[in-house]
Amino acid sequence: MVKKLRYTNALAVLLTVVGLSAPALAGSEDVVVENAWSRASIGVNRPGAAYMTVRNTGEDALTLTGLATPLAMMPEIHESKTNSDGVSSMSPAGEITIEPGQSVALEPGGLHAMLMKLQEPMTEGGTFLLTLTFSDGGKVTVEVPILGIAARGPEG
């Protein structure tokens, strides 16, 4: 029993290390998530956000239908827009369709993963798991690093 547990633990560590060193692949093997990152939060009273590029490498359109993370009770895809008067607003984006061979950038000032009702502060140097759900039932879970509060991209 102890030997079996050691093998199971070694396999879990190996899969974790391999998973962290490559882009996340979808259950449908047609989605690749790259350059995931987020900024540290100030406490839990204000929402956090996560950013990444979601690429469809398949031959069929895929629709991103939802998000889940233990870090936030209400994760949603939101979109920031600025009107002709220079007034910015943000609202839920709903489902996002990604055409074959195309990608969608979740980035500051545009589409992004809004993490509302944080369960704990987003602390610089930490990470959290974010699961993307697609209309075909496929799910992709990516580990999102938390960078400094002033980060402007995945490089910090």
- Write the pLDDT tens digit of every residue in 56-83: 999 889 999 999 999 999 999 999 988 8
Cβ-in-10-Å burial (0-12, 13-18, 19+) of 58 comes to middle
Residue 70 and residue 128 in contact, taking contact as beta carbons nearer than 8 Å: yes
Other C-beta atoms closer than 10 Å to the C-beta of 23 total 16
Is the pLDDT at 15 greater than 80? The verdict is: no
d(CA 67, CA 17): 24
Provide the pairing of β-strand 139-147 with 31-39.
parallel
Q: Is residue 110 part of a domain?
A: yes
Query: Number of folded domains in the chain?
Result: 1
In a domain, 14, yes or no: no
**pLDDT at site 54:** 97
pLDDT band at 118 (very low <50, low <70, confident <90, very high): very high
Domain of residue 75, residue span = 23-147
Any idea what the CATH number is for the domain that residue 96 is in?
2.60.40.1890
> In angstroms, rounded to a whole number, what is the distance separating the alpha carbons of residues 86 and 134?
34
Residue-level pLDDT at 152: 87
In a domain, 54, yes or no: yes
**Distance in angstroms (rounded) separating the CA atoms of residues 32 and 37:** 15
Residue 115 belongs to a domain? yes
Helix (H), strand (E), coil (C) string for the chain = CHHHHHHHHHHHHHHHHHHHCCCEECCCCCEEEEEEEEECCCCCCCCEEEEEEEEECCCCCEEEEEEEECCEEEEEEEEEEECCCCCEEEEECCCEEECCCCEEEECCCCEEEEEEEECCCCCCCCEEEEEEEECCCCEEEEEEEEECCCCCCCCC
pTM score of the predicted model: 0.79
> What are the tens digits of pLDDT across the range 121-148?
999 999 999 999 998 889 999 999 999 9
Q: With respect to residue 114, please indicate whether it lies within any of the assigned structural domains.
A: yes
With respect to residue 10, please indicate whether it lies within any of the assigned structural domains.
Answer: no
